[in-house]
Structures are given as C-alpha cells and as structure tokens.
Amino acid sequence: MTIRTIAEAREKLLAGEVTLRELVEGYKSQIIARNEEVNAFVYLDFDSAFEQADAIQKKVDEGDAGALVGAIMGIKDVICERGKPTTCASNILENFESVYDATVIERLQAEDAILIGRLNMDEFAMGSTNEYSRYGAAKNPHDTSKVTGGSSGGSAAAVAANMANATLGSDTGGSIRQPASYCGVVGLKPTYGRVSRYGLVAYASSFDSIGPFGNSVEDVAMVLQTIAGFDERDNTCSSKEKADYVSAVKNPDKKIKIGVPESLFGEGLDSEIESSIKEILDKLKSEGAELVPVELPHSKYALATYYILATAEASSNLARFDGIRYGHRADKNEVLDELKLEEEALKSAIKSAEGDNLIAIQKELDRLDAPLTRLYKKSRTEGFGVEVKRRIMLGTYVLSAGYYDAYYGKAQRVRRLIQQDFTNAFKNVDVIVTPTAPTTAFGLVEKQDDPVQMYLNDIYTISANLAGICGISIPAGTHSNGLPFGIQFMADSFQESKVLNAARLVELFR
C-alpha cells in the first residue's frame, strides 16, 4: 500500500485504517519495483525505517503523534544524517558517514517523520540534470530516457515515482524548483535564512536553501512548518517568526495580485508551456486575482551574475576537500613514485642538453611539485568530477588577482540591482509568476557537451536565489510530448504563505 500525500496518510493512520509498518512496507515495495530503473535512492535503510514505524505507531495509538506522522521521506545526499552516508554524490566523499544530524533532520524526526534513505543528486549540487553523480544519473519516472533535472533530481524523482510521499532537497539556483517542474511534483525554495543550513554541505553559502518536495501544496507546507525557524547553530538563520503555512493552504485567498513580467514570456520558452501558463492566469483572474504587469530590468543579467558568484563561493567552499583534512586521499606511494620518475627523467635529460634547452629543463626540474602539493592535486583530480572541476576553475579565475573587480565585484553590484528590482515589484504585487523552466525534460546526455545550454535551463529560477526570496514550482500541465511542466510563483522575503496560497489556487483550479 502506498498513499501519495502526507495529509492522507496521517488521516488514515489516526483513523486506524492503516499502520505505519504497512505504509513503510508499501513504499518499500514501490522502491524495489522502480528504483533500479529510476535510480533515485542511493542508500536505503529499511530496518531503521521499520524500527521508527513501530516506535511511532505506539504514539499514534496513544494519541500523541507528531505533526508529520505519516511522512515517509528521503533525504538528498548533501544533508547530514548521523551514521548515514553523506557523499554529496562525489568520489571524494565516497566512504564518509556523518557524525551528526542536520537541524532539519532533528526537526523532522521530532515530528515523527520516517526517513528511509538517501537520494541521488548532482555532485556537490552542481548541475541541472542529475547526470553528474558518482551513482549515475537519476532518471525521470515519466520517461526514463529523460533527465530529472538537478541538482535535486533524486528528490523529485522519488516523489514522482511514489517511492516517498515527501523529500528534502537543496536549492542554490533552482535545484528544487526545476526538477519539480520536470518530474511533475511540487517543490518549494524557502527564503534564504528561513530554514537552517546547519548540516547542509555547502556549495554556495549565500545562495543555498533547504526545501521540500511533495505531491501536494499542503504537504510541502506541512514539511516547511516543521523545518522552518531560528537555529542558533546557523548564523545566517533568521529569528523572524514563521507563519502558519498550513492555514494559508487550507484557506487560500483568491483575491491576490500577481505580477507578470512579460519580458520573461517569449523567446526561448516552449509555446505550449507559455499558452498553458497564460490559461492558468486567465483562470485565476476569473476567480478574483488581479494580473499586474511588472518590470524586472536586470533579470537579463541574472544567469551570468549567478555563475560568477556561485562558482566563486564553490571554489572557496570546496578548498577544504584536499585529501588531507577531508575526503579521498590519493595513494601516497604512487605520488612519490610518480615524482621520482619525473625527477629522474629530467635529470637524465639535463646530461645531454645544451644552451636554452638546458635552461628550460632545469626550470622544469625546479618547478616540480613538493610531495604534499602533488598529493593535494592528485587527490582532488581523482575525487572531483568534471562539472565540479569546471566550476572550481571558473570560480578561482573570477577571484584571481586582476579579475576580481572585473567579474566578482561587478557581479555583486548587479546582484544588488536584481534584489532591488524585486523589492520594487513587491510593493505592488503579492507574487510574481514565471515558467519554472523553458522546456520539458530533455534527453539524457543531450546537453552534456554544451554546459552553457544546460545552464540556461535555470534561467527562470536563478533570480530568486540572487535576491534571497522564496519560490515554488507546481505542476501546470502535461505537454503534448507526454511530459509534465511547472509554473513558478515567487514572493518577497519570508512571504512563503503567499507563494503557497498562489500554488494552492492553481492546484484547485487546474
């Protein structure tokens, strides 16, 4: 037995129509049936899940169950769980097990959610397709020849394939909302600082947000209600009081003002997606919503700004994975043997060299790495994948002497302008609507040789991370190619209730 939403599972549990052990057994059966094909889960612990189920069932029977009883969840492999692998889908952390729980894990467990496993992702959350993973690509449950989106592709796929009724992902530039669109589920990126990042392995520290996936807007509201709130262990976490997100979903206000940035509807956007979103907006208008044109003049610079700033932060954050303090370490003896052979070859060449050639060889000999430096290089070369290396190199470049002001400094100034655009827009509207992605999910390996085209799939989602605001993707329909696509709503900082309200209206009217 599998039940698609937390709300329904909770209702049946409290009515005695089902037990938690039966729920877990149902999801276990679905995982066994589909995970080999979809590759959403990369680690499973059913023994622990059944132990949790039996313990929580006693609380259900005594009328003392938590707010998330009935939630059977998977966790993205970038969020720390005590005693569980936290590999970030990278070879450099292939044998690492976390020694502590992230704040979000503590909060989920305190409200009786059951955690059944770890979910696939792009390595260190760097990717838009979930193809850059040491575990292989996660595949779209609607068509396994297509990508799931990324980096939280496993989190979206698990919900879409009914292998869990909710999951956690992380969103740095759209990594929750874009895969939610491709897989046809609900995905919420909270305001930066709304949910504690303690226990989240950092990609870009001023962008990263943890958020939920679910099959309904109510489910993501329930999970957000649990994981949101101040945490003294994260000094970027806001002490601002959280709202009642579940109430916002149960009693949605139809008379909302929706900002429509016409500049984001046009070139590059699939025509079917565009027409479907406009039909949804017409429906919302007929039910009482007001559509208001808004301008976001600096959004055209968002993609370039994001990939400068995020990669700069990534190059800094990932410097700690050097094979000495953290992560995979190359074989020391191989490194020493390699250096010895290079040194002997150069010394041999010096004996027969003359003039400029002799000077050149001597300089090459002098530049040979020290053993520790070579160990660093070899460890990182073996441990990191191609996309992570690409972003580290780009980030190091924009932070380097002579380029810092031209790239990083300028990008920070543009980021402020993008934030100001949203601040101005939200003076007149409750939410802003855009597509979530320009197309439906494309084929596996289709864009691997063209990273710029892959990055363009985040064009509608990146601005929310630059501005630090909240956003949600909700299914908007099914394309003629049979694949789902989403509509995105964004609201001002700490206004999650507004995006949940708008998303619920779409859910009701669609």
Does the pLDDT at position 448 exceed 90? no
Q: State yes or no: pLDDT of 1 exceeds 70.
A: no
Q: What pLDDT does 7 receive?
A: 97
**Spatial separation of the C-alpha atoms in residues 300 and 504, rounded to whole Å:** 29
Task: Tell me if 118 sits within 8 A of 147, measured CB to CB.
Answer: no
Q: Residue for token digits 């439906």?
A: 440
Q: What is the mean pLDDT of the chain?
A: 96
CB atoms within 10 A of CB 262: 9
Question: CA dist 139 to 36, 77, 125, 127, 152, Å?
Answer: 10, 16, 16, 14, 12
Q: Residue 447: pLDDT band by 50, 70, 90 thresholds?
A: confident
pLDDT of residue 57: 98
Residues 6+ apart with CB under 8 A from 111: 66, 67, 68, 69, 226
* Section 95-100 average pLDDT: 95
Tell me which DSSP letter residue 191 carries.
Answer: P
- In whole angstroms, what is the distance from residue 378 CA to residue 11 CA? 54
Is residue 165 within 8 A of residue 159, CB to CB? The reply is yes
Q: Does the pLDDT value for residue 450 go beyond 90?
A: no
Span 301-312, average pLDDT = 96
Is 155 one of the annotated active-site residues of the chain? no
Please state which of the ranges 14-28, 286-300, 358-372, 459-473 shows the lowest mean pLDDT: 358-372
Q: What share of the chain is helix, strand, coil (3-state, %, to 5)?
A: 45, 15, 40
pLDDT at 353 over 90: no
The residue annotated as part of the active site, out of 128, 155, 175, 299, is: 175
Please pick, among 28, 76, 84, 498, the residue that the annotation labels catalytic: 76
Flag whether the pTM goes above 0.85. Answer: yes
Two structure tokens written together for 376: 């660093």
Mean pLDDT within 102-108: 98
Q: Name the 3-class secondary structure at 174.
A: coil
| φ, ψ (nearest 5 deg) of residue 193 | 95, -5
Q: How many other C-beta atoms lie within 10 A of the C-beta of residue 507? A: 16
- pLDDT tens for 184-193 read 999 999 999 9
Residue 377 to residue 252: CA distance in whole angstroms: 55
Kindly report each contact of residues 350-358 with a partner whose C-beta sits within 8 Å and lies 24 or more positions away, as own/partner.
none
SS3 458: helix
Dihedrals φ, ψ of 368, to 5°?
-55, 140
102, 208 Cβ separation under 8 angstroms: no
**Annotated catalytic residue within 90, 128, 133, 151:** 151
To the query of whether residue 58 is one of the catalytic residues in this protein, the response is: no
DSSP reduced 3-state for 221: helix
pLDDT at 326: 78
Q: Which of 350-354, 431-435, 482-486 has the lowest mean pLDDT?
A: 350-354
Rounded to an integer, the average pLDDT of 330-337 is: 93
Q: So what's the pLDDT on residue 454?
A: 78
Q: Indicate if 175 belongs to the active site.
A: yes
Instruction: Specify the pLDDT at position 296.
Output: 96
